[in-house]
Amino acid sequence: MTAVTSGAAGALRGTLRVPGDKSISHRALMLAASTVGETAVHGLLEADDVLATATAMEALGATIERGGDGGPWRIHGRGVGGLAEPVNVLDLGNSGTAARLLTGLLAGQPFNSTLTGDASLSGRPMARVTGPLERMGGRFTCRTGNRLPMTVHGTDRLRPIVETPEVASAQVKSAILLAGLTAPGKTTVIERRRSRDHTERMLRSFGADVVIEETADGTAATVTGQPELEPAEIRVPGDISSAAFPLVAASIIEGSDISVPAVGTNPLRAGLLTCLEEMGAKLTRRPLDDAAEGGEPIADIRIESAPLAGIDVPPERAPSMIDEYPILAMAAACAAGSTTFHGIGELRVKESDRLSALAAGLAACGVEVEETEDSLAIHGRGEPPAGGATIAAHHDHRIAMAFLVLGQVTGQPVTIDDSSTIATSFPGFTKAMGNLGAVFSAQGPGP
């Protein structure tokens, strides 16, 4: 455990290129492994979560040449349904995306595999994916409460289904579509509120037949099973969920002016930018000409500090910014007036119970908050909060980074008890922020 203290910084200035998108990087490895031939992936996120997926795909028979020095990763696939039985347990560390998507991919492979993870991941619910996959004919043995470790009893006899998941979750949708790849016929997932569509976009880049339609019940994504996926060149955009931290930091630290180039701005991911604009942030996005990188829109984003005002964030925006509530909560803590996040019960089953971690951490920093089962109200006073607290990060990278950003403006420094999980999504976070002018001191080896 490495504690890190965040002290008051001066203005942030300069350009910060954020690492590759985590969601897209996981998908690139899993889908490339399902093609026949070699796929080059540029800008893959080399962080613990994605490295866990890479190691798992190697254990499942894919040949992977790791990039090194920023070069492309090369993945030699085994074709749809062609993975090999792993000799050992697949350890997915802290990564819910790796665990849930792999469960879908493995349900349709004719061998057994066992998934495990760290203390945080082993506490997270898997029933949301195993339920629909069982309706396809998948079989699983989990620990009590549908938790990891879990054995996937794979089969080459999955059936296609039409599923309307209860939660708006890209992990659930993707698990079903990946299982659908190995089933004969068409597998459909219908969403009342659309979640990120990286799987659908990337499947198309690899030549799969994916149809998106509006129906009376919501948006339907349909994949036709048993395609021969062809290798493609994938360019992973900068992760908007990582860019969120410097963007909010620059917004709340007076005199700041920073740019974050080549960030993925898929509209199903960009809810944070909408919120910041509504709060009065001085933000400009310049879409890049060749707009789509591997099927994903990207833009250069510039942000200057500005006084922020509280807003109501509606529940329907949640899927487009599900990982950005922790950092938006820090902006809300500095804004004038109240900000309420509605319909965010899903935050309770992330890497930690983010709703209660945020409420407790903000209260410890002197911010007035009200927490319900699925909402959080943050009463900002239009000035930085007192700070002077040590925050429990609960094995959660985004809780850790959010409070490290807040500590840059609080009256007293803010300490997080453990920074080790920052490496799951944003290796070099404190160094990159330090280059802009942020000030941190680590007790032990830094994140």
List active site positions. 323
Q: Is 396 exposed, middle or buried (0-12, 13-18, 19+ CB in 10 A)?
A: buried
Is the Cβ of residue 165 or residue 361 nearer to ligand S3P in the bound state?
165
Residues numbered 310 to 329 that lie near ligand S3P (CB under 6 A) are 322-323
Is the Cβ of residue 175 or residue 229 nearer to ligand S3P in the bound state?
175
Peptide bond just before 149 cis, omega within 30 deg: yes
Closest CA to 296 of 341, 237, 245: 237
From the CB of 289, what's the least distance to ligand S3P, in Å? 27
Is the Cβ of residue 97 or residue 419 nearer to ligand S3P in the bound state?
97
Residues 150 and 141: their CA atoms lie apart, in Å, by 6
Is the Cβ of residue 253 or residue 402 nearer to ligand S3P in the bound state?
402
Q: Which range binds ligand S3P by CB under 6 A, 57-65, 164-172, 373-381, 411-419? A: 164-172
Single-letter amino acid, residue 153? H
From the CB of 55, what's the least distance to ligand S3P, in Å? 18
Residues numbered 5 to 24 that lie near ligand S3P (CB under 6 A) are 23
Is the Cβ of residue 189 or residue 334 nearer to ligand S3P in the bound state?
189
Count of residues that interact with ligand S3P, criterion CB under 6 A: 11
Residue ranges of alpha helices (H) inside 40-149 are 48-59, 96-107, 127-135
Radius of gyration, CA atoms only, the chain: 21
Kindly tell me which residue out of 169, 182, 222, 419 binds ligand S3P, with binding defined by CB under 6 A: 169
Q: Which range binds ligand S3P by CB under 6 A, 37-45, 170-178, 219-227, 303-311? A: 170-178
Kindly tell me which residue out of 94, 109, 171, 320 binds ligand S3P, with binding defined by CB under 6 A: 171
Our finding on whether 25 is near ligand S3P (CB under 6 A) is: no
From the CB of 96, what's the least distance to ligand S3P, in Å? 6
Alpha carbon of residue 178 to chain centroid: 18
From the CB of 184, what's the least distance to ligand S3P, in Å? 26
| Residue 164 neighbours by CB distance under 10 Å | 14
Q: Which range binds ligand S3P by CB under 6 A, 1-9, 169-177, 257-265, 370-378? A: 169-177
Instruction: Give the relative orientation of helices 354-364 and 325-334 as an angle to the nearest 10 degrees.
Output: 30
Q: Is 45 exposed, middle or buried (0-12, 13-18, 19+ CB in 10 A)?
A: buried
Residues numbered 57 to 116 that lie near ligand S3P (CB under 6 A) are 97
Residues 113 and 56: their CA atoms lie apart, in Å, by 11
Q: Which range binds ligand S3P by CB under 6 A, 163-171, 200-208, 265-273, 333-341? A: 163-171
Query: 436 φ, ψ to 5°?
Result: -85, -15
Is the Cβ of residue 23 or residue 352 nearer to ligand S3P in the bound state?
23
Residue ranges of alpha helices (H) inside 216-284 are 240-252, 271-279
| Residue 227 neighbours by CB distance under 10 Å | 18
From the CB of 253, what's the least distance to ligand S3P, in Å? 26
Can you spell out the DSSP letters for 241-254? HHHHHHHHHHHHST
Unique residue bearing structure tokens 């950003």: 405
Kindly tell me which residue out of 9, 99, 170, 270 binds ligand S3P, with binding defined by CB under 6 A: 170
Residues numbered 194 to 223 that lie near ligand S3P (CB under 6 A) are 195-196
Asked whether the CA dihedral 28, 148, 93, 110 is positive or negative, the reply is negative
Is the Cβ of residue 195 or residue 266 nearer to ligand S3P in the bound state?
195
Task: Kindly list the residues in this chain that would bind ligand S3P in the complex (CB under 6 A).
Answer: 23, 97, 169-171, 174, 195-196, 322-323, 346
